[in-house]
Amino acid sequence: MGAAALIMAFSVLVSRFMGLFRDKIISWQFGAGGETDIYFAAFVVPDFLNYLLAGGYISITLIPLLSKRFEEDEEDAWRFFSTVFCWAALSIGVVSLAAWLAAPKLAPIVAPGFDEARCLRLTRFLRIVLPAQVFFLPGACLSAILYLRRQFSVPALMPILYNGGILLFGVGLPWLGLAQGMEGFCWGVLAGAFLGAFLLPCLTVRTGGLHLELRFHHPLMKKVLLLALPLMLGQSVVVLDEQFVRIFGSLAGDGAVSLLSYARRIMMVPVGVVAQAAGVASFPFLAALAARGDREEFRSTLGRTMQNSMIVAVPVTLWMIAAAGPVLGFIFEGGRFSVADTDGAAPLLQIMLLAVPFWLLQQVTGRAFYAMQDTLTPAVVGTLATLLAVPCYVALIPLFGASAVALVTTVSIALYALALLFIACRRWASGAFAGVPGAAWRSMMLSLPGCGLTLAVRQDFFHLLSHLPPLLQQFLTLAVSGILFVASWLLLAHFFQPRYENLIAGPVLRRLHRGKKS
C-alpha cells in the first residue's frame, strides 16, 4: 500500500505541477478576469454531469463487486463489467448531448454575474468542453480493472496525459492560428480526455485481457445502482467546492473567479499529493479487508494510513500558508498577472490551505465507508453540509467578497470531514483514529519554528534580493525558506519524534544506502 501511495502521490504531484504550468501560461496571457473567468466557468456543467452520474466514484462502486465476481466466476465478471460499461457510456452520452443542446440557456445559470457577451462566449466554451465527459465515465470503468490488477502506474499516468493534451492544444492551436483566446485550452480538454482518460486505460486493459460485449442486463446491476444512487443524488461540498468557487465567485466581482481558481489550484497540490493519494492507494486494501470481514486489521490499516498521512500533511500545509505570497508570485506573476493579483489571491490561498488536513480526513474516511459498501452515509452527510453552505455563501459574499467564498468552502469541508469521522467511530472504527489528533498536534509543534524561519526569510531575505528580477527573488525566497523549514522539522523530529523522522527521511536514506552498496 505504501508503494501504491508513492506512485499515486508522484503522479498527482507531476499532474498538479503540469496544471500549475498550464495556469501560469493562462495567467501570463490573460491575467485575472475576462476570458479567464469564462474558461473556468465553462467547467461547471461538465463537472456537474460527471458528478451526477457518479463518474468520480464509479471505480469505487465497481471494485468491491468486481473483485468478488472475479474470484467466483471470471466469465460472469466480464459480463457484469460489460453491462456497467455499456450503461455508463450510454448515460453520459445522452446527458452530454442534452447539455450541449441546452448550452445557451445553461450559461447564464452557471455564471449569474456574467453579462450577455460573456454568456455568449461561455456557450462556445461549453460546447467544446462538454463532449469530453463522454470519455471520462467509460474510462473510469476501465480504471477499476487496473486497480483490481494492482496496476497503479497507468492510472497514475492518466492525469499527466490529460494535462499534457490541454497544454499542447492550448499553446499550439493559437500559435497555428486555429483558435482564438482560450479556445485552444478547451480543445485540449477534449483531446486530453480522449487520450488520457479513455484510450490509455483501454489499451492497457486489453493487453491483460479485456472481454467486452454489448450488454445491458446483469443481476448485479441493481446493486451497482443502489451503491451509486447516493453518490449521484448526494452532492457534497468535496465534489462541488470547485463549482461553488466558480458560481459564487462570479457574484464577488470581476476577477474573483480567476483569483479563487488560481488559489484553489495551488491548494489542491498538497490535497492531491497527500490526501487523494492516500485515499486512492488505501481503498483496494481496505476493500479486501472488509470483504474478508477482518475488522481489526481494517481499523489498524485505516488508523496507520491516517496518522502517517497527517504527519506529512500538517507541515506541508503550514509551510505553504507561511509562504503563500511567494508561491503565488513564483507560479503566476508576470504578463497580465500583476503584483496586485498576487496580493489579492494570497489571503484566499491561506484560507483554503486550512482545509488540507480535513481533506485528508474526508478522503481516507470516505473510502473506508465505500470499502464497507456504505455509500449512503457519506452522501447524506455531504449533502447536508452542502445545503448549509449555500445560504452562507449568499449571506457573506456581499460583506466579504471572494474571502467569503474561500472561508465558507473551508469550514464546510472541515464540518463534513469531522461528521464522517464521528459517525465512523460510532459504527465500526472505534479506536482507529485515536492516534490521529496527537500525530497532527505533534507534527504542528515540530513545524512552528520552521514557519517562523519562513516568515523571517520572507520579510528580511526578500528585501536583500530587491535588485534581482521578481521571478528569481521569489524562487530564492522559496528555496531558502523551504530548506530551512525542512531542516528545522527534521532536526526537531530527530530529537523528539524519531518515528516521524524515519517516516519522512527513511525511504530516501534507504535508497541512498542501497545505491552505495551497488
Question: pLDDT digits over 406-439, tens only?
Answer: 999 999 999 999 999 999 999 988 888 989 999 9
Q: How many Cα atoms are found within 13 Å in the side-chain-facing hemisphere of 13?
A: 9
What's the count of helices (H) and strands (E) in the chain, helices before strands?
Answer: 25, 0
Asked whether the beta carbons of 230 and 100 are under 8 A apart, the reply is no
DSSP collapsed to 3 states, 242-275: HHHHHHHHCCCCCCHHHHHHHHHHHHHHHHHHHH
Asked whether the beta carbons of 442 and 497 are under 8 A apart, the reply is yes
What does residue 323 show for φ and ψ, rounded to 5 degrees? -105, 20
Please calculate the CA angle 92-283-209 and round it to the nearest 5 degrees. 60
pLDDT at 83: 92
pLDDT at 82: 92
Q: How many Cα atoms are found within 13 Å in the side-chain-facing hemisphere of 112?
A: 10
Distance CA 282, CA 298 (A): 10
pLDDT at 518: 55
Cβ within 8 Å of residue 457, ≥6 positions away: 477, 480, 481, 484
Distance CA 327, CA 347 (A): 12
pLDDT at 396: 93
Could you tell me how many residues make up the chain? 518
Asked whether the beta carbons of 349 and 267 are under 8 A apart, the reply is yes
Helices (H), 271-375: 277-292, 295-322, 324-332, 339-353, 356-371
3-state secondary structure of 392: helix
- pLDDT tens digits along 156-198: 788 888 888 888 898 888 888 888 888 888 999 999 999 988 9
Cβ within 8 Å of residue 98, ≥6 positions away: none
3-state secondary structure of 112: coil
pLDDT at 316: 93
Single-letter amino acid, residue 258: S
| The three grid cell numbers given for residue 38, joined into one nine-digit string | 469564462
Single-letter amino acid, residue 141: C
Single-letter amino acid, residue 160: I
3-state secondary structure of 71: helix
pLDDT at 97: 93
- Distances 395 to 228, 248, 252, 391 between C-alpha atoms, Å: 33, 11, 12, 6
Q: Domain map of the chain by residue range?
A: 1-233
Q: At what angle do helices 470-496 and 324-332 cross, to 10 degrees?
A: 140
pLDDT at 442: 95
Closest by CA to 135, choosing from 109, 105, 161, 111, is: 161
Asked whether the beta carbons of 324 and 264 are under 8 A apart, the reply is no
Distance CA 121, CA 272 (A): 31
Distance CA 144, CA 7 (A): 17
Low-confidence ranges of the chain (pLDDT < 70): 1-13, 15-16, 31-33, 51-57, 59, 231-240, 462-463, 506-518
- pLDDT tens digits along 313-345: 999 999 999 999 999 888 888 777 888 888 999
Q: What is the pTM of this model?
A: 0.73
